[in-house]
Homo-oligomer: A and B are copies of this chain.
């Protein structure tokens, strides 16, 4: 199955990349843009057919490697083949 993990900053954590994008869009003349955030999307193939087992395993990956859970939250989406 294909796994998509979105890792984003928790609410209240400063997002300088998002702020830089918002400022740059404004400088380029784009109006009406606000609350810009930049997150990471990590995708991979996982050799598993059991969605529950896969979700448990991917949660473990997020806690150990993919996210810094002090400042980041993660969202897991599984696409069955």
Binary interface encoding of chain A residues 9-21 relative to chain B, with 1 for a CB under 8 A from any of its CBs, else 0:
0000000001001
For A, the interface residue count at a CB cutoff of 8 angstroms equals: 33
- The closest CB in chain B to the CB of A8 belongs to B41
- The closest CB in chain B to the CB of A30 belongs to B61
Q: How far apart are the CA atoms of A39 and B38 in the complex, in Å?
A: 10
Distance from A30 Cβ to chain B, minimum over Cβ atoms (Å)? 6
Q: How far apart are the CA atoms of A28 and B28 in the complex, in Å?
A: 44
Q: How far apart are the CA atoms of A60 and B48 in the complex, in Å?
A: 40
Q: How far apart are the CA atoms of A48 and B34 in the complex, in Å?
A: 12
Q: A21-B66, A61-B25, A65-B25 are in contact. Are A37 and B43 (CB under 8 A)?
A: yes
